[in-house]
Structure 1
Amino acid sequence: MGNWLNKAEPPPPVVLVPPLFDFPPLAARTRMLESSYNMVFGKLALKCLFEDYFEAARHFNTIIMLKPIDDPHVDLMATVSGPLDHKPEESVAGNAMFRWQSDVDDPHTFMDLFVSNNDPYGLFPPSFGMRSSAYYPRYGVGAFGILPLLLKKRVSAEDYGIMGLRYGSEKLSAGVTIMPLAIKDELPKSAWLVSKLGRLTVGVQYEPQYGSKDDGKFKNLLNWSCAVGYGVGSSSPLSPSFNFGLELAKSSQVFLFSIFLFNSLIGLKFIASFYQHVVVQRKVKNPLEENEVVGITNYIDFGFELQTRMDDTKISNNIPDSSFQVAASWQANKNFLLKLGPLSSSIALALKSWWKPSFTFSISATRDRISGTTAYGFGLRVENLREASYERADPNFVMLTPNKEHLAEGIAWEIGKRPPMLQSDVNAGNFDSLPKELRPQGRIL
């Protein structure tokens, strides 16, 4: 009789935790082929913030990333891009990559075959080639290589392939790359050393491009880059993060904006960068959701980069001696992403449908301040590499001050009804209960 009179307790209120649009970023899949110096100090996050979904004006970009259901160790990624209006000087560019990965959840040991007609990696002319990486986490050592198999023309030693060795742990990363067929005084191609001391990260990289053997390439400052960064937080999207970096590097590479493209002269440049990932929570009243859903998690990213020349070399009037770019993004839910691009002259909107495979459509607008015109670019992505869905967390999973809707006692919940994620676990660095898309990218510096 008493059981009949007792009313069923209402389910505890929960908070929706959507997945990020692109986490982990695709660049993380091939990070073992890249110098750690080029990945830390917030560089990977800033690259994604400044470039993702900002398509070139009057251009389209299509990316297809698929893997078979029966064998998750292999996948295929293809891209096609080109101008919206036919131009004789521009052609449609395409490339494809077939990848085999040893561990589905660990992208550090893999092999892929790529074919392209437009130099997809900035290393070789149109070609067919192979890339491979092997990493042994028990010892922290790894080896990798990039081998172009078919080339129309081989001009330099780099066209015959690149090999590298590396060591990586949570606190230290060191490595070297060589070109096996290079002459003796061109070795190594690059070398790096990065160390993490608490929240401080310091690193140095050597790339011998200037001077001769007799002049002493090691003494030429143009061949060296050094950086220091201060970071707080993990690489999990559920944890807020903060990263500030200072770098002194050579300025021979190309400055690339969403609006301008110009070359700089050889010299030294000083780079100051900042990136912050913020996790906030807002109330939600969605008639399509259950009554116990009281909030939703949002992701806000902001970053800027300032580059200033450190030498007295005279440059032409149309090339400034410093550059500044800033961008921000806001992901309101699992389907909507808004980004403001560098110099506040570009905007991008992306809409994602989490079907299997998922579809992402994006449109970007770039304002030309000189002519006063606006040009548009379009992008389409089809993917089933990363499977993600909404997760439900208890109301204690908040980064803001709790209100009256966050009074449920998570410890008193019944077994089987308790949400899978707790804020205390995330703060303690325990990500085992999270989907792999919401975990940090790895415990390797």
Structure 2
Amino acid sequence: MGNSQTKKPPPVVLVPPLFDYPPLSARNRMSESSYNVLFGKLALKCLFEDYFEVKDADNFSAKFMLKPTDDPHVDLVASVSSALDGKVEGDASFRWQSDVDDPHTFVDLSVSTTNPLLLLRSSAYFPKYGVGAFVVSPLISKKNDKLSDEHGIMGLRYGSTNLSLGASFSPFSTKEEWPKNAWLVRKMGRFTLGMQYEPLDKNKDTAKYKDLRNWSCAASYGIGSRSPLSPSFNVGLELARNSQFIVSFYQHLVVQRQVKNPFEEDEVVGITNYIDLGFELQTRVDDSNTSNTLSDSSLQMAASWQANKNFLLKGKVGALSSTFTLAFKSWWKPSFTFNISANNNRRTGRTAFGFGLRVDNLREASYQRADPNFVMLTPNKEHLADGNVWKMEKRPMLQSDLDAENFSELPKELRPPQMIL
């Protein structure tokens, strides 16, 4: 006689895709200083800016991120924004990428309604040697608008898992700006230290290297991998141009909660949520009377909660205003994202609203369901017994190979870059 009890399938936890990963700004990081994107700066920028469509006036924005099915090496990103009672601004970029899975070698041609009108950006990186070169060149600009980098910028860089250094310069500029900027970033365990030299345009002093206003330095302490499916924690300190002290904090949480959805199978017992928290304090350390362009201090905090693959809630609170946004994403092909934002200005007491639309087929949502190859419940000997009844209250919700940094089974867009800092 056979076993009358039926062996139940092991329970699983749903792992929805992130709304936007990797962020679009990360695709162009090889064409700028590593100092400007490390120390948690890129993550904080996405947290403080993405989906906050409104500032002080009612507006609408739309973005299209598309690529042809026949040639995945090219794509087009176009955006337009307009205040309901103001002018329309927009830009578009056409990009060719050498390797579909590696965004470090590319050519990008951008057009914009603002200056420069036409911009060429290109980068080439050779991971075997860790060296790369990049070019950023305005091709067409408004004649009555002077650009500090109107002659273009060229740069060289070296990157490894623990070191990044490089410099950029304007080869055809009449000004003595050699280099235009230079950076050095070193990672030692969980600590990351770096400095950057970037001379001020208004600084005519010949001893530019001795002027502390041309130097910036930063340090951060970070825990966790760069995969969004793994929690991370980062605290950063920066002294910018010997005049501004910046303290920042960013934490990415991957948590699980129980799910009771009648439309799901019985083995689905939980769902993964993503929570992001950010804090940034900027305060001046020099004589504030020397510059009227910057306030003495500024403070902003933000939080983001992705409840599932379809809903994202974000909020940002500052000294002068507060902004909240709700986004809904449909994972069709292409995917559509709608969001509405509300901004309250404490100075004027006015509340403004913003609406956004995004159409995207650059990212594949192949991991919106639980995948036992890379996310499983904590294994134990209970599952070896036929007919065993699983007990929810006695089982951890999630235990993943991510703890051991085993990313081989992750979707390609969620694997952290291992070759460069």
Is the pair's TM-score, using the shorter chain for normalization, greater than 0.5?
A: yes
Paired with 1:410 and 1:110, the residues of 2 have a C-alpha distance of: 51
Cα RMSD of the aligned pairs, angstroms, is 2.5
Q: Do 2:375 and 2:401's aligned partners in 1 also have CA atoms closer than 8 Å? A: no
C-alpha contact (below 8 Å) 1:13/1:394 kept by paired residues: no
Identity of aligned residues (%): 63
**Residue 347 (structure 1) aligned with residue 324 (structure 2):** yes
Cα pair distance change 1:412/1:213, threshold 3 Å? farther
2:63 is the counterpart of 1:63: yes
Deviation at 1:10, TM superposition (A): 1.6
Instruction: Give the structure 2 partner of residue 75 of structure 1.
Output: 75
Distance 1:107 1:315, change over 3 A: same
Q: Say if 2:94 and 2:110, in contact at 8 Å, map to a contact too.
A: yes
Q: State the partner residue of 2:43.
A: 45
Query: In the alignment, is the contact (CA less than 8 A) between 1:157 and 1:182 conserved in 2?
Result: no
Q: Distance in 2 between matches of 1:356 and 1:412?
A: 40
Question: Structure 2: 5+ residue runs without aligned partners?
Answer: 386-397
**What does 1:261-300 align with in structure 2 at a 5 Å threshold?**
268-300=243-275
Residues 15, 395 of structure 1: 8 Å contact kept = no
Which residue of 2 is the match for residue 391 of structure 1?
A: 369
Per the TM alignment, residue 289 of structure 1 is displaced from its structure 2 partner at its CA by 1.2
CA contact (8 A) 1:185 1:213 kept: no
Q: Is the 8 A contact 1:269 1:309 kept in 2?
A: yes
**Residue from 371, 374, 389 that aligns with 2:351:** 374
Question: How much does 1:64 deviate?
Answer: 0.1
> Is contact 1:165–1:177 with CA below 8 Å preserved after alignment?
yes
8 Å contact 2:374–2:410 — kept in the other structure?
A: no
Of the candidates 211, 219, 228, which is equivalent to residue 203 of structure 2? 211
**2:70 aligned with 1:94:** no
Partner of 1:222: 213
> Residues of 1 paired with 2:247 and 2:156: CA distance?
29
| Secondary structure of the corresponding residue to residue 160 of structure 1 | coil
Residue 436 (structure 1) aligned with residue 390 (structure 2): no
2:135 maps to 1:145: yes
Which residue of the partner structure matches residue 125 of structure 2?
A: 135
The one-letter code of the counterpart of 2:408 is: D
Contact 1:157 1:179 in 2 (8 A): no
Residue 340 of structure 2 is aligned to residue 363 of structure 1 = yes
Q: How far apart are residue 371 of structure 1 and its match?
A: 3.3
String of CA shifts for 1:41-86, please: whole Å, max 9, x gaps.
100000000000011241111110001111111111100111123x
Q: Return the alpha-carbon distance in structure 2 between the equivalents of residues 150 and 184 of structure 1.
A: 20
Task: Pick closer, same or farther for the CA change 1:443–1:287 going to 2, 3 Å.
Answer: farther
What residue is the counterpart of 1:27 in the other structure? 25
Write the deviation string for residues 197-225 of structure 1: whole angstroms up to 9, x where unpaired: 000000000001153353x0001111000
* Deviation, structure 1 residue 149: 2.0
**For residue 90 of structure 2, what is the amino acid of its counterpart?**
G
Aligned partners of 1:48, 1:300: CA distance in 2, in Å? Answer: 13
SS in 2 for 1:300: strand
CA 1:345/1:313 → structure 2, altered by over 3 Å: closer, same or farther? closer
**TM-score, normalised on structure 2?**
0.90
Is the 1:249–1:269 contact (alpha carbons within 8 Å) kept by the matching residues of 2? Answer: yes
Q: Distance in 2 between matches of 1:396 and 1:132?
A: 35
The 1:245–1:36 alpha-carbon spacing in structure 2 relative to 1, beyond 3 Å, is same
On the 8 A contact 1:279/1:297 being kept in 2, the answer is yes
Kept in 2: contact 1:157–1:181 (CA 8 A): no
